Structures are given as C-alpha cells and as structure tokens.
C-alpha cells in the first residue's frame, strides 16, 4: 500500500501531462495516460508498472486488443515525478525496467532541483535544467519539452 502523492507532485505531474497532451492532441499522435494507469510490461511473472504520465503512439494504441485491462505494452514515453520520500536509485531502477521493456524515453522529474533526467538507454542519460529544452522527438514526434514550463506555477 502506497501513500498518495503530495500537492507539488500532483501539480507537476498534471502540468507535464497537460503539456504533452496538448501536443499529442493537436497533432493526432496517440494517447496520453494519467497517473496510476497500469501497464503490463512482462509476464511470468506478471510485471505491472504505473507511471505518473505516459504516451502511446496512435498505431500502437490502435493495435491493443482491449483498453479495459492493463495495456500489454511499454509506453513510448514515461514520466516519473520524484516525491520527497523517493530514493533516486529506486526510481532510476524503475526507469531501467521501462527501457528494458521497450520504452523509448523515460523522464524523471526532480521538483527539488527543478531538473529533468532523460533516459534513452542505460548509458544515454542527460540532465536538463530549467533554462533548457528536451528534444523528445524519438518518442513523441515533433515534441520539445521546455523544462521551465513543467515547474511554472499559475495563480
């Protein structure tokens, strides 16, 4: 049993989903999934992971047999937002599990340092600061994520 995420975590996860969703929808690229959507990425034993934000391309989504159960695939892009109680090594291990299952890009969002770690493989890992942007085209066609937009607060 896990405790629910705190306010900052939820706000940042929603903001990232909002930015991704706007691009995906305006370009008819596929489907964005909210937090707690489980994905079956392995069998025997069954392995189900639930990222904070996920994207699946239109062709891969359309090939699913059912959307009622856990989608049986690794999303093209996954984002995990660190909570104060998270150990970075545990979240990084989860990123490697996603990559091993076929995810093209895993973003680990660090609210404390206002950075985003982009994992494309176990060896290709980059850290982006607020003033930078992340070219996500390999996972989400034509999308570039402005890091500062993820951490902006609108009141």
The conformation of residue 9, written as its DSSP 8-state character, comes to H
Which spans in 27-123 are helix H?
58-62, 88-101
What is residue 85's predicted lDDT score, i.e. its pLDDT? 86
Q: Which of 28, 46, 35, 44 is nearest to 5 (CA)?
A: 35
**What's the rounded mean pLDDT across residues 66-90?**
93
**Residue 103 domain-assigned?**
yes
pTM of the model: 0.95
Looking at per-residue confidence, does 65 or 53 come out higher?
53
Looking at per-residue confidence, does 3 or 62 come out higher?
62
**Residue 50 domain-assigned?**
yes
**Residue 1 domain-assigned?**
no
pLDDT higher than threshold 90 for residue 78: yes
- Quote the domain boundaries for residue 69: 7-151
**What's the rounded mean pLDDT across residues 87-112?**
96
Which CATH number do you get for residue 80?
3.90.1570.10
CB atoms inside a 10 Å sphere around CB 19? 18
Q: Which residues contact 38 (CB under 8 A, 6 or more apart)?
A: 48, 49, 50, 70
Question: For residue 31, what pLDDT band results from cuts at 50, 70 and 90?
Answer: very high
**What's the rounded mean pLDDT across residues 61-82?**
94
**Residue 2 domain-assigned?**
no
**What's the rounded mean pLDDT across residues 77-101?**
95
- When divided into structural domains, the chain yields a total of 1
What is residue 155's predicted lDDT score, i.e. its pLDDT? 57
**What's the rounded mean pLDDT across residues 95-110?**
98
**Residue 111 domain-assigned?**
yes
Q: Which residue has the tokens 């895993």?
A: 106
To 10 degrees, the CA torsion angle through 36, 137, 21, 28? -120
State the pairing for strand pair 144-146/115-119. unpaired
């Amino acid at each position: 049993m896990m405790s629910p995420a705190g306010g900052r975590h939820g706000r940042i996860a929603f903001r990232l989903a909002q930015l991704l969703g706007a691009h995906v929808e305006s370009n008819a690229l596929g489907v964005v999934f909210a937090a707690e959507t489980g994905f079956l990425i392995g069998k025997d034993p069954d392995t189900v992971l639930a990222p904070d934000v996920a994207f699946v391309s239109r062709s891969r989504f359309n090939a699913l047999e059912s959307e009622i159960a856990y989608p049986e695939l690794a999303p093209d892009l996954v984002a995990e937002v660190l909570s104060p109680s998270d150990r970075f090594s545990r979240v990084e291990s989860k990123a490697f599990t996603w990559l091993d299952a076929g995810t093209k890009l895993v973003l680990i969002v660090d609210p404390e340092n206002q950075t985003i770690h982009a994992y494309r493989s176990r060896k290709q890992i980059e850290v982006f600061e607020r003033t930078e942007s992340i070219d996500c085209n390999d996972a989400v066609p034509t999308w570039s994520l402005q890091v500062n937009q993820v951490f902006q607060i609108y009141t």
